[in-house]
Structure 1
Amino acid sequence: MKINIVGGGPAGMYFAMLMKKQSPRHDIAIYEQNPADATYGWGVVFSDVALSFLKKADEAFYDKFTAGHERCDYMDVVHKGVHVQLRNNHFSRASRIDLLKVLQQECLSLGVKFHFGSRIDDIHTLPEADLIVAADGGNSAVRSQFAEHFKPKFEMRRNKFAWYGTRQLFHPVSLIFRETNDGIFIAHSYQYSKDLSTFLIEISPETWEKTGLDKMTDEESRQYCEKVFAPDLGSNTLMSNRSLWFSANIVSNENWTHQNIVLLGDALRTVHFSLGSGTRMAMQDAIALFESCRTHHSDIPAILDSFVRARKTSSADFQKAAALSLDWYESVEDKMHLDPVSFAYDYMRRTGRVSHEDLKERDPNFIERYEKINK
């Protein structure tokens, strides 16, 4: 098949890699608007469940990809300055740049053609292809071009976010809640390399305005947040990399395909950072599309129909859980009175997908502490 992929992120490259390994005869080109050595982003997180999908799809790539990962089998919820450990929550973390480099190298070695610095606003400018994969992110230009067919929906959520990095190493995935006179500050933090951690900060729009962060420069904002999280950062600073405040724009689409075009990854749907990596969903999309191609060969309508059927239910369930997680964060002020253990318990139950019995099986000591407090 001749395949054009718009977007050189994890979804597009992983699909290209799987297809080329299955048959070198596939003619695959990737069009990416950024240069090959773009260095945007910090780390990505995978649960053990997410990694199991990658291992099953391509064990050789899985071994190569996970070789340098930072791993931990517990997470931390920090509330009122108290660290509550939650055991048997397995996470594997890596640099987003390293993930992209590994995928690029793998694709190039297989003969995938790259066109970097190529923003595609009109797919009619592309060479003819049997299949066009729109993997160009949450602001997908392809999706916009055919919006009347895909019928996207956008939900701008309340809270504000800024991505930072730090040399303070958060070995477990750590959720830190700091209450100040101006509002509640939340940090989603985790070590993703030998010397760096992601530090994503979340605040309400009221806090954003009350503190004056809405008017501060990038540097002023960074310094302000450093002071808020000084107890957690030790002697380390926050590091900025295009760390501008933004709101979560939740994207979904009524239709996933149009003619020979299919949406993948964030172009198809976005999820909240607190529920796991969007990278995981993107790569699972790539696996499902690859499996559909392998089953139906060059029958494009059958491929696209099979892909939608394979991913529709799980995608909807994931977005539903993500919305509940967002609701929890946006109303966290109602939870701040809870003791640290009860707060962590409420956090773990926020989507309804984890039961009391699930937590008891994962971490009986934690549930024993919770039950003693809440007799």
Structure 2
Amino acid sequence: MKIDIVGGGPGGLFLSYLVKKRFPAWTVRVFEQNDADATYGWGVVFSDVALKFLEEADRAFFKRFTAEHVRSDHMEVVHRGVHVPIDGHSFSRVSRIALLKFLHAECRAADVELLFNTRVDDVTALHGADLVVVSDGVNSRSRSQLADVFKPSFVQRRNKFAWYGTAQLISAVSLIFRATQHGVFIAHSYQYSAGKSTFLIETDPQTWQRAGFDQMSDEQSRALCGRIFADDLGGHPLLSNKSSWFEAVTVKNEKWHDGNIVLLGDALRSVHFSLGSGTRMAMEDAIALCNGLVLHQKDLGAVFDYFETTRRPVSDRFQDAAAKSLDWYENVADQMHLEPIDFAYSYMRRTGRVTHDDLRQRAPGFARQYELIHGEPVS
């Protein structure tokens, strides 16, 4: 069997590795429009809960995958300058370029053909492939080409984001909220390597405009954001890597496959970082699609049915929770009057899926702090 994968992100690379490991005689090619060393963004973070899927799928790969990751055993919510630790949350972090380099090496060892600087302008022209996997990201060119078939829908969220890095080492996965004369700014931050941290900044469009970001250069934007979060950056400047301001877009597709073509990862559905990692979802897609191939091999109809039956309910639940999380962030000004513990509690329960009993189990220390103030609430 011959499989062509359009897009060399984590989902497409992991799928190619899994398939070649199970079916070494099959031909698997990955087409990536960028250079092997190209990357945008800074780090990728996985919770231990999120990584369970990987350990269960391939324990040896999991050990290699996490060997060089930066570990953290808690997260923090910073409100009014008070650091509120949330226990029971372990994370594994790595730079995006290190993640891709690792996957490149795993794929080459499995004899996957990696074609960099190779842009696929017409996915239907891949006639020699038995299966074509479209995994070229949230702005998928291939999905757009076949929009009449897949029927994608897009929901534009309103908040503004800029994805910066910093040499300030922020050991805990931290959410920092700062009230300013212009409005509220939020930083999503975490250390992902020995010398760097991600520092993604978020604000609502009115605050963004009042602060004058619409009139600023990249350098001016970084300088102002650095001043807003000066207490957290410890004198380190923010670093840019094509860090233009952007808005989040939620992508869904009515159809997931057509003929011998199937969507995967962000091309299939976007998952906002306020709730979880799109990288995780793409890699879970890869596992499900590979499992479908193991069960049904060349019967693509059965493969796709297995993939969609397995992944669509999970995808829908995740996107629903992510939408509620985004709502909380977009209306965070309404929560800023809360005391730090209450504010963090509101954050932890923002999706409506986490009960107080859940917090007692997952974060007993934090739950006890809340109970000392308010008693034992009915979840």
TM over 0.5: yes
The one-letter code of the counterpart of 1:334 is D
The one-letter code of the counterpart of 2:158 is R
Shift of 1:352: 1.4
Q: Which runs of 5+ in 1 are unaligned?
A: none
* 8 Å Cα contact 2:86/2:365 also seen in 1: no
Residue deviations 1:295-327 (CA, integer Å, cap 9, x gap): 001111110111000101000000000000000
Asked if 1:197 corresponds to 2:205, the answer is no
Q: Report 1:145-156 matches (<5 A).
A: 145-156=145-156
Name the CA distance, whole Å, in 2 between partners of 1:66 and 1:363.
24
Indicate the residue corresponding to 2:111 in structure 1. Answer: 111
Indicate the residue corresponding to 2:276 in structure 1. Answer: 276
Using a 3 Å threshold, how does the CA distance of structure 1 residues 364 and 50 change in structure 2: closer, same or farther? closer
Asked if 1:87 corresponds to 2:87, the answer is yes
Indicate the residue corresponding to 1:223 in structure 2. Answer: 223
* 8 Å Cα contact 2:88/2:364 also seen in 1: no
Name the CA distance, whole Å, in 2 between partners of 1:41 and 1:125.
31
The one-letter code of the counterpart of 1:357 is D
Indicate the residue corresponding to 1:301 in structure 2. Answer: 301
Name the CA distance, whole Å, in 1 between partners of 2:261 and 2:230.
48
Indicate the residue corresponding to 1:47 in structure 2. Answer: 47
1:114 aligned counterpart, secondary structure: strand
Q: Report 1:1-375 matches (<5 A).
A: 1-375=1-375
2:236 aligned counterpart, secondary structure: coil
Shift of 1:118: 1.5
Residue deviations 1:132-190 (CA, integer Å, cap 9, x gap): 00000001111111111111010000000000001111111000000000010000000
Q: Which is worse superposed, 110-119 or 204-213? A: 110-119
Shift of 1:127: 4.3
* 8 Å Cα contact 2:44/2:192 also seen in 1: yes
Shift of 1:289: 0.2
Name the CA distance, whole Å, in 1 between partners of 2:79 and 2:300.
51
1:88 aligned counterpart, secondary structure: coil
Q: Report % sequence identity.
A: 59
Residue deviations 1:256-308 (CA, integer Å, cap 9, x gap): 11111110000001011111211000000000000000000111111011100
2:73 aligned counterpart, secondary structure: strand
2:41 aligned counterpart, secondary structure: coil
Name the CA distance, whole Å, in 2 between partners of 1:153 and 1:30.
26
Residue deviations 1:13-44 (CA, integer Å, cap 9, x gap): 00000000111111011110101111322100
The one-letter code of the counterpart of 1:147 is A
Aligned CA-pair RMSD: 1.0
Shift of 1:371: 2.3
The one-letter code of the counterpart of 1:292 is G
The one-letter code of the counterpart of 1:79 is H
Name the CA distance, whole Å, in 2 between partners of 1:300 and 1:194.
44
Using a 3 Å threshold, how does the CA distance of structure 1 residues 61 and 364 change in structure 2: closer, same or farther? closer
2:214 aligned counterpart, secondary structure: coil
1:181 aligned counterpart, secondary structure: coil
Residue deviations 1:180-214 (CA, integer Å, cap 9, x gap): 00010000000101111000000000011111111
Q: Normalising by structure 1, report the TM-score.
A: 0.98
Name the CA distance, whole Å, in 2 between partners of 1:362 and 1:24.
41
Name the CA distance, whole Å, in 1 between partners of 2:15 and 2:366.
40
* 8 Å Cα contact 2:7/2:30 also seen in 1: yes
Q: Which runs of 5+ in 2 are unaligned?
A: none
Q: Which is worse superposed, 49-58 or 177-186? A: 49-58
Name the CA distance, whole Å, in 2 between partners of 1:152 and 1:38.
28
The one-letter code of the counterpart of 1:20 is K
Shift of 1:236: 1.1
